[in-house]
């Protein structure tokens, strides 16, 4: 079974690395990181992502602009805010978001 690709955008390098490590550790999801919006758009266009996590550093205006781009490339992509910066909420955020596809 193919892993589900998840793009994580966060401008805090250690927190981004932590989230990616936690995602990859599940074995069923594949995390790819971007530390700014330009990089995020580039990465998003390079592969098929089912889910985007908007993390720390992404403000509301940037979020609006990114959603516009992401939806124009893949209308089915799910974009959600990630809160907490660690394992506490991460898995239920992802599971809950992915459950809305079904």
Partner 1 sequence: MEQTILHKADTRFSADHGWLKSAQTFSFHGHYDPDRLQFGALRVLNDDTVNGGKGFGEHPHDNMEIISIPLEGTLEHQDSMGNSALIRPGEIQVMSAGTGIYHTEFNKDKDEPVTFLQIWLYPNVLNVVPRYDQQNFGEKDKQNKFLQILSPNQEDEGVWIYQNAWFHIADLDKDFETEYVLKNSENGVYLFVMEGDIEANGQVLNKRDGYGIWHSPNIKITAKSNSKVLVMEVPEKW
> Could you give the CA distance from residue 44 to residue 67 in angstroms, rounded to a whole number?
11
Q: Which stretch binds partner 1 (CB under 8 A): 28-36, 40-48, 64-72, 83-91?
A: 83-91
Q: Name the minimum Å distance from CB 12 to partner 1.
A: 4
- If the CB atoms of residues 18 and 74 are measured against partner 1, the closer one turns out to be 18
Q: Name the minimum Å distance from CB 5 to partner 1.
A: 20
Contact between 21 and partner 1 by CB under 8 A: the answer reads: no
> Could you give the CA distance from residue 30 to residue 68 in angstroms, rounded to a whole number?
23
Contact between 102 and partner 1 by CB under 8 A: the answer reads: no
How many residues at the interface with partner 1, by CB under 8 A? 24
Q: Decide: 85 and 15 in contact? Cβ < 8 Å.
A: yes
Q: Tell which one of 36, 67, 77, 83 touches partner 1 (CB under 8 A).
A: 83
Q: Is 57 exposed, middle or buried (0-12, 13-18, 19+ CB in 10 A)?
A: middle
What angle (nearest 5°) sits at the alpha carbon of residue 52, between those of residues 50 and 54?
A: 170
Q: Is 90 exposed, middle or buried (0-12, 13-18, 19+ CB in 10 A)?
A: buried
Contacting residues toward partner 1, per CB under 8 A: 10, 12, 14-15, 18, 55-60, 81, 83-89, 91-92, 95-96, 99
């Amino acid at each position: 079974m193919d892993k589900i690709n998840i793009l994580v955008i966060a401008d805090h390098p250690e927190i981004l690395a932590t989230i990616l490590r936690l995602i990859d550790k599940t074995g069923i999801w594949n995390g790819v990181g971007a530390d700014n919006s330009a990089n995020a758009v580039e990465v998003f266009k390079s592969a098929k992502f089912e889910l985007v996590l908007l993390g720390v550093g992404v403000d509301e205006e940037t979020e609006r602009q990114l959603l516009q781009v992401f939806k124009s490339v893949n209308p089915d992509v799910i974009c959600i805010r990630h809160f907490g910066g660690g394992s506490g909420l991460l898995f239920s955020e992802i599971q809950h978001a992915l459950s809305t596809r079904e």
